[in-house]
Amino acid sequence: MSKSKIEKITTAVTLDRSRQPKSGKPKDVSFPGFFETTTDSGISVVVIEDRKLPLVTSRFIFKTGGYADDQWGKKYEGLASLTTELLTKGTESRSATVIADEVDYLGASLTSGSDYDAIYISTYSLKKYFDSVFAIAADVILNPAFPESELNRIKEQRINSLLSMSDDGDYISDNIFRSEVYKGSPYSLQSEGSKTSVPNITTDLAREFYTRYFRPDNLIIAMVGDISPEEAMLKINTELNFSNTQKTLYPELKSPEKISGNRVYLYDKKGAVQSSIKVGHLGIKRNNPDYIKLNVLNTLLGGNFSSRINKNLREDKGYTYGSRSSFNCQRFCGDFSVSTEVKNEVTADTIKEIIKEIKMLRKEEAGKNELKSVKNYLTGIFPLQLETPNAVAQKVLSLKLNDLPSDYFNKFIKEINDVTPEQILEAADKYLHPDDMIISAAGNVKEIKDMMKQFGELSVVEEQ
């Protein structure tokens, strides 16, 4: 090739790095297909077949979590969480050690966990060991023994964990915020339990919780990987036979008390040099039709590193290394909050700036370039959230748990791109309430109390 031709090719591919490349028009992502059905006993089943690797994941979700603790009262908060942890600690035919050894021998995993809205049991294994792993999971779900010795050990570990967190400012401010924002609702309870409630939980209470909520009509199963719908249904129908098939009676829904005027709650961390702050109010539940608009709004306000609040507090003022806002959308209710950690002397100034940014979003339309950047970010990361079958399963289970339509994610990118500055302004006016917030701070009360009085009625919380 001649020198002149090489020069022409080099010139043709040279990039002008002083200019940002133009982005292409975003396209909707076709959400992967999945099989879904309901068994005769009421179990909701989802199967996502993927033969690329000889692996199978099973996820079992019971649609009741810490929200149900309220039926036993605050004295027993943490009951759902401890019941869940006990599931893998012994059945009628297997001890905790036997379960752990069998799963380990198969090179598999068996885990359990819970949150306010659900209880989760998951398995992961090679396809050739799937039958054995599923049999163990079925035994754990159908025949838990709730051994006293295991409960005592779990309670001791939980109390030690709670004690270790008792000086964590972020944990404390979060607990105060939740208890006040959700006052009157089961979401105000501590789902992991408290130092005073955990000792009250007994094996009889765990069995009672299990009997009420471990029923087939309360169960969603997702199977993902090297398995067909036919194989999955055969396994479920032959091995997961509940003795208790009565219809589940769900906990009474209780709405939180409405907040009128800002209220300030301080927790004294003697000698602390910084304050852990959480500011906010009630939000929305996950299936609210304005969820996508609020996702865009929140990303703009404080949902990523280049958001308004983080730029203000980190880059402009130098108050903090980072701050963030979020809409925590749960099954029955949700909250909006802004959280950060700052030096004592700028605690009040930080809250002023947060309130200023919220009010500005309610008053002025977002700029088109700013909004475009937010949309590009959200539409750009969405396909990355669907890269694996397990990630897809997580999205599908969210649809099922929150009563969202099956085609919800097929329209996700389009609906983000359709959000206008006017809609952001309307959503901010409707869902952001800077004059009716809970302001929670864990820090040195002696240094911050006087400056915090300007924001509203102030209380010092003695114990968390």
Domain segments of the chain as ranges? 35-239, 263-461
Q: What distance in Å separates the CA atoms of residue 109 and residue 337, rounded to the nearest whole number? A: 35
Question: Do residues 324 and 340 lie in contact, with contact meaning Cβ atoms separated by under 8 Å?
Answer: yes
pLDDT for 398-432, tens place per residue? 999 999 998 899 999 999 999 999 999 999 999 99
Six-digit token string for 202: 């007994």
Residue 376 has pLDDT above 70, yes or no: yes
Pairing of strands 334-343, 323-329: antiparallel
- Structure token pair of residue 120: 């989760």
Q: How far apart are the first and last CA of the chain?
A: 76
Architecture of domain 263-461: 2-Layer Sandwich (3.30)
Q: What is the pLDDT of residues 263-315, one digit of tens each?
A: 999 999 999 999 999 999 999 999 999 999 999 999 999 999 999 999 999 99
Q: What is the pLDDT of residue 86?
A: 98
Give CA–CA dist 269/274, Å, rounded: 9
Query: What is the reported pLDDT for 15?
Result: 63
Max Cα–Cα distance, the chain, nearest Å: 87
What does the pLDDT read at residue 20? 67
pLDDT number for residue 8:
52
196-245, pLDDT tens digit by residue? 999 999 999 999 999 999 999 999 999 999 999 999 999 999 999 999 99
Distance CA 42, CA 247 (A): 9
Same CATH topology for 35-239 and 263-461: the answer is: yes
Distance CA 331, CA 35 (A): 24
The rounded distance, in Å, linking the Cα atoms of 71 and 90 is: 26
Domain 35-239 in CATH 1.10.10.10? The answer is no
Examine the pLDDT at 389 and tell me if it is beyond 90: no
Say which amino acid occupies 373.
Answer: S
Model pLDDT for residues 105-132, shown as the tens digit of each residue = 999 999 999 999 999 999 999 999 999 9
pLDDT, residue 2, reads: 58
Burial classification of residue 59, based on how many CB atoms lie within 10 Å of its CB (0-12 exposed, 13-18 middle, 19 or more buried): buried
Q: Which residues, listed in sequence order, are joined to residue 144 by a DSSP beta bridge?
A: 91
